Amino acid sequence: MWQLVLMINGYFISILGAAMLVAAGYDLYTTSASWSPFLNSALICLFIGLSLFLSNRAPVERISIRQGYLLTTSSWVVISVLAALPFMMYGTTDNFHDAWFEAVSGLSTTGATILSDIEGQPKAVLLWRSMLTAMGGAGIVMFAVALLPFLGIGGMQMFQRENSDFNDKFMPKFHYIAKRIFFVYFFLCSLCAVCLYWAGMNWFDAVNHAMSTISTAGFSTKNKSVLFYDNAYIEAVISTFMVVGALPMTFYIVLLQNKFRHSLRTEQVISFLKVLAFYILGSSLLLVLTDVYGSFWTALRYTSFNIISIVTSTGLTSTDYLAWGVIFQTLFIIFALTGGCTGSTSGSIKIFRWQVVWAYLKQSLVTAVDPNRVVPVKVKQYTISPEAVSSVLVLVVAFFVTIFVSTLVLAFLGLDFATAFSAAVACISNSGPGIVDSIGPNGNYGWMSGAAKDCLSVTMLLGRLEILTVLVVFTKNFWRK
């Protein structure tokens, strides 16, 4: 079991090392120095990665379920630890807790940061943060499209037919899927960067924000995030591409191949867009009625950007939404727990699972008064199997239990309840900013203790990897022959 896991981990670590070389090259170009701390990190990663890959190299005939779980958990933990090296070697952070938090936040596309002065950081460090989000976003899509249906986590087995190597005619092999997903991902990042440049950003900021936007991560090169620009055109571009990033990447592949068909995946896209429109229009009207904004169009501008950002788990901000009042602090928790579509870079529970929960609730209400009646759980015209319903419900329960446990741990470590709960929700949903001032749009996580940051780093990874994928590895049954 271990040989395959170690080999693939070595391959991933080598890719990380190669990415560090890109950041090192940019660092040497911008500083005119003779050496870069990124080179040290790259050499360490390449040595470890190539050693693991070459010493365990073997043909990959199949991956067992146990190997799938172990590979997922081990690779994300190891990659996040090694990705923290440049932050420590460059002096961006002075301890491992901060460096690991920043690396996990980038790779999990959470966008939470411990940095209080982002603009004061070297450009190579800012580029590395954005590169982590881009690599994390692409990895998340591959994880959701290729591995989750195979593992049957969170009802993703419902998409097995759409993504299967054998059953899906337009994507017969995994490498075929991967190649096209990476093409779509790169194309969207490039298009977003060009649009942001035309809207008023310089090329460096445009490229960094594009990677952060498509990956729905939320890292910015500015202390005030998108508020720094106060530009409606920039906000419109980022809003559009945040939505683009929250839709399934396979959805675009189908469109490019002119093979659009109505399916469960396209059904969740329609539902997601409807929910998002409802959130935005309702919030805009509420802000006008409460005299926060005098104009509906002004309210629409700010609600559309910030609500899209939270719902898609991006975390970029264009205003201090905490100033909107207490009711919006509650609403933003709901927004963060909604999530985008499965098979996208978005985090949180995701709209498909809420559709299943709602369908199951309706079925339960019917059978409560007519127990003998057979009522299938259906999302629109699609029947959801009992196994998929059970998988979704287990994941949703595990999601909220994790929030509860994380909140308790943070409270035990000295945080007040509001901050602990807000941080737990923000990190497990991978949305970044919280709903209290200290970790809100104008705050950061740098003031927390090392133990609290480690707790939140674990919470981010659990949220990103659908919780059960990680927890299974720590059960006795997993290690039994």
Question: Of the segments 141-145, 275-279, 468-472, which one has the largest average pLDDT value?
Answer: 275-279
Task: Look at residue 166 and tell me whether its pLDDT is greater than 50.
Answer: no
Q: Is 375 left (phi over 0), alpha (psi -120 to 50) or beta?
A: beta
Residue-wise DSSP of 350-399: -HHHHHHHHHHHHHHHHHHH-TT-----EETTEEPPHHHHHHHHHHHHHH
Residue in 98, 157, 213, 152 with CA at minimum distance from that of residue 444:
98
Q: Which position has the higher pLDDT, 325 or 250?
A: 325
Virtual torsion, Cα 119, 125, 127, 130, nearest 10 deg: -90
Using the structure block, give the residue that is written with the tokens 């009625």.
289
| Enclosing domain of residue 3 | 1-92
Task: Look at residue 148 and tell me whether its pLDDT is greater than 80.
Answer: no
Residue 83 Cα distances to 65, 109, 183, angstroms: 27, 14, 24
Give the pair of three-digit tokens for residue 316.
């970029």
What residues contact 421, with CB distance under 8 A and at least 6 apart?
403, 407
Residue in 258, 257, 276 with CA at minimum distance from that of residue 268:
276
Residue in 466, 166, 230 with CA at minimum distance from that of residue 339:
466
| pLDDT, tens digit, 9 for 90 and up, residues 421-478 | 999 999 999 999 999 999 999 999 999 999 999 999 999 999 999 999 899 998 888 8
- Looking at the domain assignment, is residue 32 inside a domain? yes
Rounded Cα distance, 462 and 402, in Å: 8
Give the pair of three-digit tokens for residue 30.
């911008």
- Looking at the domain assignment, is residue 235 inside a domain? no
pLDDT value, residue 480:
76
Picking from 92, 108, 129, the residue at the C-terminal end of a domain is 92
What residues contact 195, with CB distance under 8 A and at least 6 apart?
237, 241
Using the structure block, give the residue that is written with the tokens 């990665």.
49
| pLDDT, tens digit, 9 for 90 and up, residues 351-372 | 999 999 999 999 999 888 888 8
pLDDT value, residue 383:
84
3-state secondary structure of 323: helix
Q: What percentage of the chain reaches a pLDDT higher than 70?
A: 93
Residue in 347, 305, 336 with CA at minimum distance from that of residue 109:
347
Residue in 159, 300, 315 with CA at minimum distance from that of residue 236:
300
Picking from 92, 127, 158, the residue at the C-terminal end of a domain is 92
Residue 466 Cα distances to 92, 169, 173, 462, angstroms: 30, 28, 24, 6
Rounded Cα distance, 480 and 358, in Å: 37
Asked if 93 and 87 touch (Cβ cutoff 8 Å), the reply is yes
Where in 133-226 does DSSP place strands (E)? Answer: none
- Looking at the domain assignment, is residue 125 inside a domain? no
Q: Number of structural domains, the chain?
A: 2
What average pLDDT does the structure give for the chain? 89
* Exposure string for 192-210, b = 16+ CB within 10 A, e = fewer: bbebbbebebeebbbbbbb
Give the pair of three-digit tokens for residue 468.
């059960």
Residue in 301, 296, 304 with CA at minimum distance from that of residue 280:
304
What residues contact 405, with CB distance under 8 A and at least 6 apart?
none
pLDDT value, residue 164:
42
pLDDT value, residue 384:
85
- Looking at the domain assignment, is residue 271 inside a domain? no
What residues contact 380, with CB distance under 8 A and at least 6 apart?
267
- Looking at the domain assignment, is residue 294 inside a domain? no
- Looking at the domain assignment, is residue 348 inside a domain? no
Please report, in angstroms and rounded to a whole number, the separation of the first and last CA atoms in the chain: 11
- Looking at the domain assignment, is residue 88 inside a domain? yes
pLDDT value, residue 61:
67
pTM of the model: 0.92
Asked if 313 and 430 touch (Cβ cutoff 8 Å), the reply is yes
Picking from 51, 66, 92, the residue at the C-terminal end of a domain is 92
- Looking at the domain assignment, is residue 29 inside a domain? yes
